Amino acid sequence: MAAALKTGRADLEERATSLATRVRQLERKLEQLQGQLAAGGAGDDPASEAQEVNGIQLLVKRFDDVDIKGLRSMMDSLRDRLGSAVVVLGGVQNSKATLLVGVSKDLTARCHAGELVGELAGKVGGKGGGRPDSAQGGGADIAGLDDALAEVPKWLSSR
C-alpha cells in the first residue's frame, strides 16, 4: 500500500487523508466547470439552442458522462439563464440513461416536470417523477434516450 501511495509506512494515514481531500477538491472543481460549460463559459452556449414550442421556451440537450450532480448544476444554471422556460437534460453514465426536467415556476400550470419526466423515462425502460418544477428519472435502455429527448417538443406542443 505504501508503494502504491508513494509514501513510507509511517505516513500512510496522512497521505490517504491528503489524497481524499484532493479528490474532493477536484470533484468540486469539476462540478464548477460543468456549470460554467452549461452557462456558456467554454464558448459553447447551450442556452442559445432553446426553441419556442407552443409559446414556451424549450431547451433539450444531451450531456454524456456527466454525473447527476453535474447535470443538476447545469439544469439550475440553464433554467436561471433562460428565465421562463422548460429545460430537459439527458445523458448516459455508467450504462444508464438519466433524465432531468426543470420548469420555471410560471410554467408549472402548463407543464408539470414530474409528468414529463415520467413519460420520458418510460421510453428508456425506467421510471421517474418529481415536483412540478423539477424532476428526474432514468432507465437501463440507453438506446431509447435520443428518441425520448426527441419526443419532448411533441409532448409540450400538446399542452
Nearest partner of 120 among 146, 157, 83, 159, judged by Cα: 146
Residue 112 backbone phi and psi in degrees, to 5: -95, 120
Which position has the grid cell 460549460? 37
DSSP 8-state assignment for residue 106: G
| Partners of 91 in beta bridges | 98
Q: Which amino acid, residue 8?
A: G
pLDDT greater at residue 16 or residue 105: 105
Mean pLDDT of the chain: 88
Mean pLDDT (whole number) for 57-68: 89
Mean pLDDT (whole number) for 89-95: 92
Q: Is residue 151 predicted with pLDDT exceeding 70?
A: yes
pLDDT, position 37:
64
Mean pLDDT (whole number) for 26-45: 68
Q: 47-157: which CATH architecture?
A: Roll (3.10)
Mean pLDDT (whole number) for 18-28: 88
Range with the poorest average pLDDT among 7-11, 18-22, 123-127, 139-143: 7-11
Q: Is residue 120 predicted with pLDDT exceeding 90?
A: yes
Q: How far apart are the C-alpha atoms of 65 and 70, rounded to whole Å?
A: 10
Domain residue spans of the chain: 47-157
Q: Give the confidence band of 158 by pLDDT, cuts at 50, 70, 90.
A: confident
- The tally of CA atoms less than 13 A away on the side-chain side of residue 78 is 31
pLDDT greater at residue 125 or residue 3: 125
**Cβ burial, residue 15 (10 Å; 0-12/13-18/19+):** middle
pLDDT, position 38:
55
The string of DSSP codes covering 11-52 is GHHHHHHHHHHHHHHHHHHHHHHHHHHHTTTTS--GGGG-EE
pLDDT greater at residue 85 or residue 71: 85
pTM metric for this prediction: 0.76
The string of DSSP codes covering 107-133 is GTTT--HHHHHHHHHHTTTEEEEE-SS
Nearest partner of 66 among 25, 27, 40, judged by Cα: 27
pLDDT, position 35:
62
